[in-house]
Amino acid sequence: MVIKETTVNNQVGLHARPATFFIQKANEFKCSIWMEKDERRVNAKSLLGVLSLGIIKGTAVTIIAEGPDEQEAVDELAALINSNFSE
């Protein structure tokens, strides 16, 4: 299991468009991936789950992955968040 915390810093947080990019990237991996905010954990491959966290600018989130490509998944998803989704 690999766990990494990062902060969402793009202007509008994780709204529909960046959340869609995040889910698409998460679905490229075989491992199970979760996103956690304030002790609430959702499936990071589910758009409704990720949107339900209500992530706004400045929110710290934890990405958790477990499976064969867990390290790569966490690294790439954290990099996507840190790039501010190219906005």
Dihedral sign for Cα atoms in the order 47, 9, 28, 71 = negative
Backbone angles phi, psi at 49, to 5 degrees: -60, -50
Three-state secondary structure string covering 31-75? CEEEEEECCEEEECCCHHHHHHCCCCCCEEEEEEEECCCHHHHHH
Q: How far apart are the first and last CA of the chain?
A: 30
Given the residues 6, 15, 32, 46, the one annotated as active site: 15
Tell me if residue 12 is catalytic. Answer: no
The residues carrying an active-site annotation are: 15
